[in-house]
Amino acid sequence: MERNDAERKIEKLRNQLEEYGYHYYVLDKPLVSDAEYDGLMNELIELEEAFPELKSDTSPSVRVGGPPLPHFEKVEHRTPMLSLGNAFSDQDLRDFDRRVRQVVGDEVTYSCELKIDGLAISLIYESGRFVRGATRGDGTTGEDITQNLRTIPSIPLRLKEAVSLEVRGEAFMPKRSFEALNEAKEAAGEERFANPRNAAAGSLRQLDPKLAAKRHLDAFIYAIGSVEGKELHSHHEGLNYLKTIGFKINPESAYCESIDEVIDYVNSWLERRADLPYEIDGIVIKVDNVNFQEQLGYTAKSPRWAIAYKFPAEEVITTLLDITLNVGRTGVVTPTAELKPVTVAGTTVKRASLHNEDLIREKDIRLGDSVVVKKAGDIIPEVVNVLTELRTGEERPFSMPTHCPECGSELVRLEGEVALRCINPQCPAQIREGLIHFVSRQAMNIDGLGEKVITQLFEHGLIHNVADLYKLNKDELLQLERMGEKSVNNLLASIETSKKSSLERLLFGLGIRFVGSKAAKTLAMNFPTMTELRRASYDELIAVNEIGEKMAASIVSYFEKPEVNELIDELASLGVNMTYKGPKPIGEEEIADSPFAGKTVVLTGKLQALTRGEAKEKIEALGGKVTGSVSKNTDLLVAGEDAGSKLTKAKELNIEIWDEEALVKAISH
C-alpha cells in the first residue's frame, strides 16, 4: 500500500473506531459487534506498524497500552484539587443549606451526583487533544499517569470540539472487572485486591500501560476545572456541555430546586446503591450557580459550595480472635482487634483499632467474643459493641501488659492521659515508626521509602535514626530483597532531592510532640533557620500566633536534649537544608499597603517566572483572594501568555488587567 493510501485508510479507521468506541463505552449503545470492532482495531494497528511515521498519541490504538515507563513524573495542578467536607445526616445537609443561603440568599438550587469510589483524576486537553492526565496526589501536586489513562476507553483522546480545557473526574473499576481480576489473581496464587478502589488505584500506578489496559477501567467526568472560550453559568450546564463534546457523564446526576429534593435524592440511593455496576460511597451535592460558588468561596481544604454526604457505615458481625499491641512513634501502645475476616463496605476487614485499655474495659471486650464491626466514615474499621447474648462461657478477659511488647520497658500512664506509653527513647518500635513518619509525604516526602522498605532497612541494621537515611549507599541497598538497580538509583535520587526540602518539612518529620504540619510551617515562617528555632525561648514561642503553651513547652524541651542537637548537626553536615524557603509572614501594615488587599484576583494564561500555585500563595499572603473565573466581583486579572476567554471577558467588564511582569513586581515589594 502506498503511503498516501495508508494515511487515508488510517484516518478512516480512526474515525470509525472513535465513533464506535463513543457509542459503546460512553453512550452504552453499541453500533457493531465486538468481533467487528476488534477486526478494525487489528487492521489499524497493522497499518500503523507498517507506517510508523503515521502513528498518533490520539489514535484508538493507544488503548492497548504503550511501552513501560521508568517512573511517574510529578506535575502541578493548574488549580488545586480540593477535598470535600462531609455530611452524615439529613440535619448536616440542612445545616449546609442554611450556611449557603446566609451568603447567597434563598434562590439557591443544587446539583447532585453519585460519589464514585475510585481514583480522582485531572485531564488536560489542548485544542481538543488529550495531552496530560494526573492523579489528585496531595491536591496541589499529582503524578503524571497520562499513558495509563489513555488505555481507558471512556476517556476521549480527541474531543468533538477543538477546545482547550481541564476537567476533573473519577477513574474506577466496575464490579465485573474487579471480580474477574481477583479470580485471575487467585488462580495465579496472588493476593486478592481488597476493594475496587484499591484495584483501580493500583492499576493506574502500573509502570507498564499494557497491564493497566488489561484491567478494564472506566471513568466518569464530573467537573470543569478551567475552559478557554466558553462561558458556563451553572454546574449542570457544564455537565451537559461535557457530554456534548464527548465525555462520559454519570447518567444518575440530578438537578434539585431545594434541600428537601436533595435529601429525597440521597435517601433514594441508600438502598439502590447495591444495584449499580460500580461502587459508590455517598452523594456529592454542589451549589449549581457558578456565581454563587464564587461568592461562597473556599476554606483552606474544601469549597464552601459543595459537600459529600457519606452513606451510613455498614455493620457486620464477626469473631474477635485476639488482641495485639502496636507501639507508635510517640510510644503510645495501641491495642488492635484481630478479627475473623469479614467484608465491610466492600473491603475485607481483618483488624480494627480498640484505641486504649479504657475502651476495652468499658465495652467489656473479651477474646472470642462475637462483635459488631463497622467502618467509621467508610474508612477506618472499629468495634461498635459486643453481642454478650452470644457468649458461650469460653470467652477470656484481656488485660493490658505492664511492659512494652517491643523493648520490655515498663509502661507508664502520663497524668491526664488514657493511653499507656513506652518512654524508652531507644525502643525499636518508636524508632521504626519515627523513620516511617520522617519519609512520609507531608514530611520529607521520599519516594520509594514506604513502610515495608523502612522496616527492611531497619531490620537489616542499615538505619538506626533519620540521619542514617542520608548515608545509604548503592552496594548495600542492592543486597536487599526486591531491590534492583533501577529502583535503588531512583531511591537514592529521591533521598538526595529531599535534602533540599524547606525547613517546615524537616520540623514536621522530626516528630516534635504537638507539632503538626501546619504548626511546623508557622514555626518556620517565624524562625526561618533551625539555629533561630533552637535558640527560641518559651516566651518567644508563645508570642507567635497559633503556638500555644503546650506546644511551646514541648518545643523547648525537645531542643534541650543533647541527642536531638547531635542529630540535627549530623543532618546539617550531610547536606540537609536547615532554612525556610517559603514566603515570609506578612505583617498587618504590609497587607494594608498591598495592592492585593481585599481584592479578588484571577490568574489566566501561562506564567513563566513562577507557577500558578506559587502566585496564588503569594497573592493570598498579601491579603488577596484568588478565584478561577472572571465575574463582576473580580477586581484584577493577571494575564500570562496565551490568555484566552478570561482576558476577553475581563476587558468587556472593564476589569483591571496586569501582565506577569506587573505581578512579579507587586509581590516582590
Per-run averaged pLDDT (10 residues), the chain, 669 residues = 84 88 77 81 85 83 72 82 89 95 93 94 94 88 90 93 93 91 79 80 84 90 89 92 95 94 93 87 94 87 91 87 93 94 81 89 94 75 92 93 93 84 90 94 90 92 95 92 88 95 95 90 92 95 88 94 94 97 65 80 84 80 80 88 81 90 83
Q: What is the architecture, at CATH level 2, of domain 85-310?
A: 2-Layer Sandwich (3.30)
Instruction: Give the per-residue pLDDT at 534.
Output: 95
Find, among 137, 292, 86, the residue nearest to 613 by Cα.
137
The H or E element containing residue 256 is strand 254-256
Work out whether strand 316-327 and strand 332-344 pair parallel, antiparallel, or are unpaired.
antiparallel
- The C-alpha atoms of residue 453 and residue 578 are separated, in whole angstroms, by 26
Q: What is the dihedral of CA 378, 381, 385, 389, to 10 degrees?
A: 100
The single-letter code of the amino acid at 637 is: L
What is the CATH architecture of 3-64? Orthogonal Bundle (1.10)
Per the listing, cell 476537567 goes with 167
- Cα torsion angle, 219, 168, 211, 455, sign: negative
Strand 218-227 relative to strand 165-172: parallel, antiparallel, unpaired?
antiparallel
Residue-wise pLDDT for 157-183, tens only, equals 999 999 999 999 999 999 999 888 888
pLDDT in tens, 132-148: 999 988 788 888 999 99
Q: How far apart are CA 484 and CA 287, in angstroms?
A: 50
CA dihedral 318, 324, 325, 326 (to 10 degrees): -70
CA distance 426 to 71: 36
> Domain 316-408, what fold?
OB fold (Dihydrolipoamide Acetyltransferase, E2P) (2.40.50)
Quick one: pLDDT at residue 91? 94
Q: Are 225 and 167 in contact (CB under 8 A)?
A: yes
Question: Rounded to whole angstroms, how far apart are CA atoms 579 and 571?
Answer: 13
CB atoms within 10 A of CB 584: 11
**DSSP, residue by residue, 381-442:** EEEEEE-GGG--S--EE----SB-TTT-PBEE--TT--SEEE--TT-HHHHHHHHHHHTSTT
Rounded Cα distance, 121 and 136, in Å: 6
- Per-residue model confidence (pLDDT) at position 589: 56
- What backbone phi and psi angles, to 5 degrees, belong to 511? 75, 35
Q: What is the 3-state secondary structure (H, E, C) of 257-269?
A: CCHHHHHHHHHHH
pLDDT of residue 538: 94
Amino acid making up residue 237: E
The hierarchical CATH code for the domain 428-498 is 1.10.150.20
Can you give the pTM of this predicted structure? 0.57
Query: What is the CA 84 to chain-centroid distance, rounded?
Result: 12
Catalytic residue ranges? 115
Q: In angstroms, how far is CA 108 from the centroid of its own chain?
A: 30
The number of beta carbons lying within 10 Å of the beta carbon of residue 394 is: 8
Across-strand partners of 602? 627, 637
Q: Do domains 316-408 and 503-573 have the same CATH topology?
A: no
Handedness of CA 335, 138, 633, 660 (dihedral sign): positive
503-573, what's its fold?
DNA polymerase; domain 1 (1.10.150)
> In the chain, what are the domain boundaries?
3-64, 85-310, 316-408, 428-498, 503-573, 588-668
Give the per-residue SS3 of 130-192: EEEEEECCCCCEEEECHHHHCCCCCCCCECCCCCCEEEEEEEECCHHHHHHHHHHHHHCCCCC
* Short-list 263, 262, 319, CA closest to 287: 262
Q: Which CATH number applies to 588-668: 3.30.200.20, 3.30.830.10, 3.40.50.10190, 3.40.50.150?
A: 3.40.50.10190
Residue 314 parent element (H or E): none
Coil, helix or strand at residue 84: coil
